[in-house]
Amino acid sequence: MLQLEVAIELTVPDNTAFTVLVALRQLGYAELARVERAEVLRLSLDQPPENAEEIVEALRRAEVIFNPNKHRMRRTHDAADSNAWEAIVSDRDDDNSGLARLLADHFGIRDLKALERATAWRFFDEHGSAPKERLEWACRELLANPISQRWSVREVAQAAAVN
C-alpha cells in the first residue's frame, strides 16, 4: 500500500491568503506578516512504494489540479520541522470520487483506493513561523466551519520539490 501526500502551492500572488491575512489582523493578530496556503492531496493506492514518483508525475500532468504556469508541487514526507506549524482544514463530507475516477481514467493513476483533499495554512510573523496556538486560534475563529469542516495543526512536513 502506497500512502502519498503532495502539496500544490501557487507561485503567483494568492488573493485568498491575502484576504485571510487582513481578516486575522482585524481579529486581533496584529503581528501576522504573511499567510501561505497550499492544496493538499492525500492518496492511498494499492501499489508498491517504488511507484511514488510515477504517481507524482501523473499528478503533474493532471491539468485539473496542477498548472505548471502558476503552481509548484511538493511531495511531503513524515519527517517534520518542529519549529514550523501548519493548519490542515478539510471538508467533512467532501466527495472526491469524481476526481478519483478522472485521475484513473485520463491520467493513468490506477489502484487509487482513497483520495482526500485539504487546505494547508501557514502563518509567519516577525519571529518566523507562527506558534501552534495561533494556528489553532485561527482555525476556531476563521479558517474552519466546525459544522462542515475538520481541522488539525501539525508540524510542517518535510517537503521535496517535484521538478
How does pLDDT run across 11-35, given as a tens digit for each residue?
Answer: 999 999 999 999 999 999 999 999 9
The pLDDT assigned to 55 comes to: 94
Q: What is the Cα–Cα distance from 68 to 24, expressed in whole angstroms? A: 30
The enclosing H or E element of 103 equals helix 97-107
* pLDDT given for residue 58 in this prediction: 94
* 46 to 8, 112, 128: CA distances (angstroms): 23, 6, 39
Closest CA to 92 of 116, 60, 61, 67: 116
| Closest-CA residue to 138 (of 120, 118, 114) | 120
Question: How many Å from the N-terminal Cα to the C-terminal Cα in the chain?
Answer: 24
Average pLDDT of span 115-142: 96
- Round to whole Å and give the CA distance between 89 and 87: 6
Residue 83: the pLDDT is 80
Name the pLDDT band for 112 (thresholds 50, 70, 90): very high
Beta bridge partners of 69: none
Contact between 96 and 113 (Cβ < 8 Å): no
The CATH fold of domain 2-161: Mth169; Chain: A , (3.30.1280)
Instruction: Report residue 92 as a C-alpha cell.
Output: 467533512
Cα 37 to Cα 17: distance, rounded to the nearest angstrom: 6
Nearest C-alpha neighbor of 52 from the set 73, 70, 69: 73
Q: What is the pLDDT of residue 129?
A: 94
pLDDT exceeds cutoff 60 at 43: yes
Query: Mean pLDDT in the chain?
Result: 92
Residue 154's φ and ψ, nearest 5 degrees, are -135, 165
Res 118 pLDDT > 80: yes
Domain coordinates of the chain in residue numbers? 2-161
* 47-99 pLDDT tens trace: 998 899 999 999 999 999 999 999 999 998 765 656 899 999 999 999 999 99
